[in-house]
Chains A and B, each alone.
Chain A
Amino acid sequence: MATPLNARMTADGIAVSLRDYRAAGGYLGLGSARETGAAAVNEAVKKAGLRGRGGAGFPTAMKWAALPPDDGGPRYLVVNADEKEPGTMKDRYLMEGDPHQLLEGIAIAAIATGARKAYIYLRREYGRCARELEKAIDEAVAAGLLEGLELHLHQSAGRYLCGEETGLLNAIEGKRAAPRNKPPFPQVSGLWGRPTVVNNVETLCNLPHIMREGADWYKSLSSSSDGGTKIYGASGWVARPGLWELPLGATAAEILDRAGGMSAGRSLRAFLPGGASTDFLPASKLDVKMDFDSVAASGSRLGTGTMIALDDRTCPVGMLLSLERFFARESCGWCTPCREGLPWVSRCLEALESGEGEMGDIEALEDHARDLAPGRTFCALAPGAMEPLASALKLFREDFVDHVTRKGCRYK
């Protein structure tokens, strides 16, 4: 089974050097992109069926195709390396382990989009990634590999909304990272009002392999209708939490299997397929194929593909409180439903957990799950926060009620 994304990574976790990366065929994809040109790269990526790995799964070639024709002015490529979706650590793994793979992907995307300047927006907590990327950029520049591209690392001063692509643009410009209205989309009016493409780290890491091995080969790696492999992960009370590269469309059961199953004495009750802002799926759906369409068909989202397991000894209401406390804290305060609604949700869950909850709190939670649905808020933060809540209210209803009748949490 081919695992192009982590094939070169070393067991000791030391980043792949430029020499080793090139010895394994690194930067050949970039060479091929330079030879064939922008139109051919766009065509290959479209044919490869690459969908964005940041969480939304938007087809990468389609994102690029929304750029207006080159008017000779500046256009930018931005790498979203602000990984802060709770339960998600895949981009860190890719940047720490094989930084040149990302740089090659950036250089190929720059050719496809016509960007001559690129920024990597990296969360500052990823200090090791910053050191590896800076070293790799210096090496690649010295070797003449990034010719025609000015590439900078921008380290974030920290906030979840910096990972929202328009919030990210504001962050780079030195403003509060509140999201922007869409349209206009970044491709039309992005950084400093110029055409800009924002791509996720893992998405870009796929490009060298598509360019080197071809779209057909890439497509054949997947066991879904989309192309490629995926860096999957598992956390929570699983025997061996970690990250694995598997064909896109591997089942959740296969991922859990890689993690060695659940920890001793615990059984799986439900899971979030890909980060904090995805709906819970019950353990009975463990055979779901973890690709964008299959997870959507089963009532959740693939998101970042790093699943979080809820076991039978962990309180689902407590887990939700941890999730909603995060979202309430990260609300930028720009729009009222999110600014006021998320702390309310958090307080209701706190009341239930501490034994002071009433049945009315459960109704208030249900109201919020409806009232903070997509379209009711300025950006996707609050609707994302409602995905685990709405699904939990359905799946674990007896637990919510039990907190009220028992006046406390039976898991404590």
Chain B
Amino acid sequence: MLSDEDKRRIESEAGRYPSRRAALSEALLIAQESRGWLSDEGLADAAREVGVSEASAESVATFYELVYRRPVGAHVVLVCDSVSCWIRSGESLVEALEAQLGVELGGTTSDGLFTLLPAGCLGLCEQAPAIMIDGEAYGDLTPERLRALIDGIRGRAHGDAAQR
């Protein structure tokens, strides 16, 4: 369910355009925030807020790649497989991530911590190879840096769990 704050943010977005529908993609992403992915209920909430049919909202939700209509892990890893990163790493960056996380592209780790997704060019070509985790960019990756990065997130997650 959308919180009052979510609704306020959608309202603020809608106020920027002559048509409420223009706030749809933002509304879908706001509805996605609580779970990390957009459930049927979240989609219906966003559609209602913006004033479009659920079918119409679905047509938009399935078009854009940052809207996730299926469950994802706590951290979404976008691995760039476009040309500049491919030249610098071949398939090895994707393979290293798959091996380290124990999932294939598109998969989510069994502990629910990571989802690994391929991404078109992230615009970090001078820092190739590059990935993005939860919207943060990481470039000039080596197998060692990659390992430290993923291990760091794992360590923090397990530390949090231990504290609880």
Contacts and interface: CB of A to CB of B under 8 A. Distances in A.
Interface of A: 74, 83-89, 91-92, 119, 123-128, 152, 154-160, 171-177, 192, 233-237, 241-243, 272, 276, 306, 308-311, 314, 318-319, 322-323, 325-326, 329-330, 332
Nearest to B82: A86
A150 B68 CA distance: 32
A192 B19 contact: yes
B64 A308 contact: no
A230 B100 CA distance: 41
Contacts of B146: none
Contacts of A160: 120
B123 interface: yes
B29 to A, nearest CB: 6
At the interface, is chain A mostly helix, strand, loop or mixed? Answer: mixed
Contact of A83 (B22, B81, B82, B123): B123
A159 to B, nearest CB: 6
Given A236-B88, A310-B87, A319-B83, A87 B121 contact: yes
Q: Interface size for chain B: under 10, 10 to 19, 20 to 34, or 35 or more residues?
A: 35 or more
B87 A276 contact: no
A233 B126 contact: yes
A182 B57 CA distance: 26
B126 A276 contact: no
Contacts, number: 144
A404 to B, nearest CB: 21
Contacts of A306: 125
A318 B137 CA distance: 25
15 contacts: A83-B123, A84-B120, A87-B121, A88-B123, A91-B123, A124-B66, A124-B135, A125-B78, A125-B123, A159-B63, A172-B17, A174-B60, A325-B81, A326-B83, A329-B118
A149 B82 CA distance: 37
Contacts of B136: 127
A86 to B, nearest CB: 4
A158 B64 contact: yes
B103 interface: no
B132 interface: yes
Interface in B5-50: 16-19, 21-26, 28-29, 50
A92 B123 contact: yes
B125 to A, nearest CB: 4
Contact of A308 (B18, B81, B87): B87
A155 B135 CA distance: 13
Given A125-B132, A174-B23, A237 B121 contact: no
A319 B86 contact: yes
B101 interface: no
Interface in B123-164: 123-128, 132, 135-137
Contact of B87 (A177, A242, A314): A314
Contacts of A177: 63-64
B83 A158 contact: no
Contact of A176 (B26, B60, B87, B122): B60
Contacts of A325: 81
**7 closest Cβ pairs, A-B complex:** A157-B64, A174-B24, A322-B86, A235-B84, A174-B21, A86-B82, A86-B121
B81 A322 contact: yes
Contacts of A172: 17, 22
Contacts of B122: 125
Given A158-B64, A173-B21, A235 B125 contact: yes
Contact of A88 (B21, B25, B121): B121
Given A92-B123, A173-B19, A241-B125, A158 B65 contact: yes
Given A192-B18, A318-B90, A89 B125 contact: yes
Given A125-B122, A325-B81, A329-B120, 4 more contacts: A192-B18, A192-B19, A276-B82, A276-B121
